[in-house]
A and B are shown apart, each in its own frame.
Chain A
C-alpha cells in the first residue's frame, strides 16, 4: 500500500478517507454516481 507505485489510466482508483476543514471525513465512495476530479497540490501557500 505504501510503496510509491505509479497509478495510471485504467487502474482502479484507491479508496481513501481524509479529513477536511471542520474535521469532517470525506471518502471517495461518498461520490458514487459522480465523476471525481482529484487535484493533488504540493502544499498550502504554494502557487496555484
Chain B
C-alpha cells in the first residue's frame, strides 16, 4: 500500500510499526514493492494461510486473505479491527487517528 509507505514517518512518530501481509511469496513481494514503491515498512508472506485463518481474514474463493486492518496495542491486544469490501481501502489518516486514541 503505497499510501501507507508515504506516511511511514507519521506512524514512526506515534510509536507504531506498520506491517503489510498477504499470501504471496517474498519474491512476489519484492517485485511488487519495487514496482509500486514500498520500501518503508515490511511486507510479510503468509504462505501457509495460517495467519489469515488465525486473524479470521482467510478468503477461500481465492485461497488468499481479504483486505483488513488490525491495530495491536503494547499489551498485544487488538484495539481496532476493520474489514473492507470491494473497492474499499484503509485510510492512513483514519488509522493514525485511531492510534492517537490509545496509549503510545
Contact of B21 among A8, A35, A39 (CB under 8 A): A39
8 Å CB contacts to A: which residues of B45-59? 45-47, 50-59
Question: Knowing A19-B26, A20-B45 touch, does A37 contact B16 (C-beta < 8 A)?
Answer: yes
Number of residues of chain B lying within 8 A (CB) of chain A:
63
B77 touches A43 (CB 8 A): no
Interface secondary structure of A, over-half rule:
loop
A36 touches B71 (CB 8 A): yes
Q: How far, in angstroms, from A12 to B78 measured CA to CA in the complex?
A: 6
Residues of A bordering B, CB below 8 Å: 1-14, 16, 18-23, 26, 28, 31-45, 47-48
